[in-house]
Chains A and B, each alone.
Chain A
Amino acid sequence: MLELVILILLVLCAFGYLMARSRAVALATQAGVRNHSLPAYHGAFVALWVGLPAFFLALIWLLLQDSVIDQMILASLPADMIAGLDASRESLIISEIRSIAGGQVFGQPEPAVLDAAARLNTWASLAGWAMVAACTCLALAALVVTRRKLSPSFRARHGVERIMDVLMIACAVVAILTTLGIVVSLLFEAYRFFERVPVTEFLFGLNWEPQIAIRADQVAGQGAFGAVPVFLGTLVIAFLAMLVAVPVGLLSAIYLAEYSGPRFRNSVKPILEILAGIPTVVYGFFAVLTVAPAMRSFGASIGLDVAPNSALAAGGVMGIMIIPFISSLSDDALNAVPRSLRDGSYAMGATKAETIKQVLLPAALPGIMGGVLLALSRAIGETMIVVMAAGLIAKMNINPLDSVTTVTVQIVTLLIGDTEFDNPKTLAAFALGLVLFLVTLALNVVALRIVQKYREKYD
């Protein structure tokens, strides 16, 4: 139906544009004056008013149509069928009716349900046609109203520019709406979680067994939502990742910024950037396919027992992914140190290494710290590598050779498969998501603050 609406609107827009443009010319020659705006602006003015409101009406209509029809179907069911049902049973009935309406009949449905399915199909097609009619009417009305406005003195350009202004502001506000959407949805679902499991329990509890809590489906699950082991696992893996990424990234940045010639630099930098462009699911598979077995056999050869999904494998591979972040941000920081500091140090007779260690690194430290914090927030929020290569079971464990689990792993495993929004298992994922969002946000804000403060110092 949306396709039909778009087609109709396109035709009407084109018609309105051509009509208004020629009418503007005709009116002006008739009156023997010049138009205030170019004829194309008259056309664009009409076309925008014809197309945009009707298009947005169609979008809103489509968003609301299904839930309105669901409500009408529920209301039309026999009273004894829906008496005393809670929301989840109602949605079960609705989805049964919907699947029957879609042609998938399982078993012997009740006649009332079959009737409802037939009604649903009728109403859905009715609603579709009603949408086409409503949008067409709105577009035609806009065409008539705006056509009346046309005259040589009409400020069509200003009208068009005002519409563009509104559209542009709306687009810029999308960014705010996205943040707002994230915050509100996380807070809302997390609040519902904390109604069932106390905040202190979640933040300080030492036992995380969300799956068991669901099976028991009772108060017995209450003790199993202590997220400390999950946080600890996240920190262990992030720490291992930084242990790989910081030295390698920083040393490469030092070499690229201070030692290498421009040709070497220009060919090596893009290769390092490739590491950042490889999708994380690829790193995850690499960890499972190559790194973890290699570590396991190496561990066995020196008598260490390495778990197949050890934190070391996941953290190490994550470190590889983060190398380019650290190296490019440290490179920027080193390059931002003024030439005069280097020259002063060389003039004292210091070698390059001495200059780097005693002049450049201290001067670039805030920038490098900012980069490390940004990379840390990446490591904490990184999902696919740990989902594929780290463990699922939360233990209080900081041994890198053993398996640990992370916040992102728990979010994904709790939400994969069918999700109902009213059990603590699903809601726990949102609570974890809230913590993740707040921590990464704080890290980013602090990192940007540090970087900016440092920049002001030398500019």
Chain B
Amino acid sequence: MASISMPESHDWLSESARQRVQRRHAADKRMRLYGLAAIGLAIGLLGVLLVSLILSGYTAFVQTKVPLQVTVSPEQVKPDNLERGNYRKLVRDAFLDLMPVEMSRSEQRDYLSMLSSGAPFLLRDRVLADPSLVGQTVEIMAPLADPMDQFHKGIIPRDVPEEQRRVNDVQIGYYDQLVAEGLVSTPFNWALFFSPDSRFPELAGLAGALVGSFYALLVCFLISFPVGIAAAIYLEEFARKNRWSDLIEVNINNLAAVPSVVFGLLGLAVFLGFFGLPRSAPLVGGMVLSLMTLPTIIIATRAALKAVPPSIREAAFGIGASRHQVVTHHVLPLALPGILTGTIIGLAQALGETAPLLLIGMNAFITSAPGGLTDPATALPTQIFIWADSPERGFVARTSAAILVLIGFLIIMNAIAIFLRQKLERKW
């Protein structure tokens, strides 16, 4: 308090004293305002983050589509060779049928490019699943190509010069006609969840990434949950305080702070390089993630074990239980809600982890969902990374939508953890 000098005469009511007090109170108010401003800034930035993701992502939850009446003629699709049928021509003809006007060659090309190049594959998949469709007329909801999709959603504006947008005036003319006939609709985009990745933004979905993330998290859980609990019980209930247990403890605390990319290097060098496990596999991804989750689970489990009051242990010892019996019959069940909460939070962290998965190759372009633990796969965050890197404009909305899906999963997992903590945890 050296800065506050006391005048000789202690006249606390003088004008100068009053001003001094006012200045000091003003400084106090400023401090309070700075604090509020900092909190406001942090929360505001969080809001900007979420709002910008929602604004750019919500359009990807619907998809612009037109209904096509496709006649699967046996000339184009031979019943004995369904795989190699000329589905492209069938879909083109059906799409041309929607617009019964004279077109020049270039107009026809412009018109046909309005339909997604993936539409024939939709038809092929339908016919492969049900070969009896050959010779019949099938209605498929074919997605429009990405530029038209964005034009319909208003992301590509109508009132800019033609050379500055990827939709030309001819296409807009046809588009307006299709809209006038009520053919263009925007149903909910289930393909986002149930289709695998694709080069075409209008077809790309998260199915492969969701399955890959599920497998990786499953492996991560199967390894880190039992190992983490066992290690924590040992350290908390059994280990004598000596150099070894100190070493393990320091180790665990340091592991929790090692950058995630270093775990990726470990996985690359040891799991892929030394043991020769397959690249891009959810098995390896899960193993790397489990090493990262382990410290979280161990620390949470130890905290939960510590929270069980010693009287429980002493009572159990008193009636002749062995140390193992005390732990397994009494302490562990009481600590379980806390352990589960920590585990779910650890798994939620693992779900969002990207860098180590990139290093072990879980960012491959894979057009089918993985069928097993050793199939090449992507995971949700790596899929976001792949899409964010894609040059097509349509992937911007897809990326934001995928992020919203990922955040949705994280919210669900954390909500479960909070629920467990509040409902099941006992207060002593």
Contacts and interface: CB of A to CB of B under 8 A. Distances in A.
A67 interface: yes
Q: Interface centre among A67, A271, A275, A279, by most B CB within 10 Å? A: A279
A272 B45 CA distance: 10
B97 to A, nearest CB: 40
Given A290-B48, A440-B258, A251 B238 contact: no
B248 A176 contact: yes
A353 interface: yes
A381 B269 contact: no
Contact of A279 (B238, B399, B406): B406
Contacts of B173: none
Interface string A424-442: 0000011001001100110
Contacts of B295: 175
Contacts of B291: 178
Contact of A381 (B255, B260, B363, B407): B260
Given A176-B247, A408-B355, A416-B358, A433 B52 contact: no
B235 A172 contact: yes
Contact of A289 (B39, B231, B396): B396
Contact of A441 (B25, B43, B254, B268): B254
Contact of A323 (B42, B48, B226, B353): B42
A353 B38 contact: no
A91 B346 CA distance: 38
A173 B260 contact: no
Contacts of A283: 49
A249 B37 CA distance: 11
A280 B352 contact: yes
Interface in A171-192: 171-176, 178-179, 181-182, 185-186, 188-189
A305 interface: no
Contacts of A157: 322
Interface string B350-387: 01111100110001000000000000000001001100
A354 interface: yes
A374 B257 contact: yes
Contacts of A66: 276
Interface string A30-73: 00000000000000000000000000000000010011000000
B400 A289 contact: yes
A175 B228 CA distance: 9
A182 B262 contact: yes
Task: Summarize A's interface: helix, strand, loop or mixed.
Answer: helix
Nearest to A172: B231
A387 B355 contact: yes
Contacts of B30: 353
B323 to A, nearest CB: 8
A188 B389 CA distance: 33
A361 B268 CA distance: 44
A138 interface: no
Nearest to B327: A164
Contacts of B230: 167-168, 171-172
B422 to A, nearest CB: 13
A161 B260 contact: no
Given A278-B49, A383-B259, A445-B254, 19 more contacts: A171-B228, A176-B247, A179-B254, A181-B270, A186-B265, A278-B407, A279-B351, A279-B406, A282-B403, A327-B42, A351-B25, A354-B24, A383-B355, A388-B388, A415-B264, A415-B359, A433-B265, A437-B258, A444-B257
13 contacts: A168-B230, A168-B238, A176-B251, A178-B255, A185-B274, A252-B38, A255-B35, A279-B352, A281-B381, A290-B49, A324-B42, A381-B258, A384-B381
